[in-house]
Amino acid sequence: MIIESDDVCPVVLAKVMNAWLNLEEGKEEEIVIRTSWQAVPQELEKWCKETNNVFLGVKSLDNKRLEVRIKLIKRK
């Protein structure tokens, strides 16, 4: 799943959380988030630690946009 969003950081986090909540139990899904908000990687890394999901990394797409990868895991 790819989330393209230039919304403020809490909106991006809400979209990720919605994807996680809608994931079937026992399933995993890699999510790519593309955003211009510089705080998103730090917030998603923190959220992944708190929810036992996996922060896979972040890279710069250009001078303004970032791509963050995470793995969502819905435990039984």
How far apart CA 49 and CA 9 sit, in angstroms, is 17
How far apart CA 39 and CA 2 sit, in angstroms, is 18
pLDDT of residue 10: 78
Residue 73 pLDDT exceeds 80: yes
pLDDT of residue 42: 92
Give me the CATH topology for the region 2-73. Answer: Translation Initiation Factor IF3 (3.30.110)
Over the stretch 5-50, which tens digit does the pLDDT of each residue have? 776 667 888 889 889 989 899 899 999 999 988 888 999 999 999 9
Domain boundaries, the chain: 2-73
pLDDT of residue 59: 95
pLDDT of residue 7: 67
The position carrying tokens 């994931």 is 23
pTM: 0.85
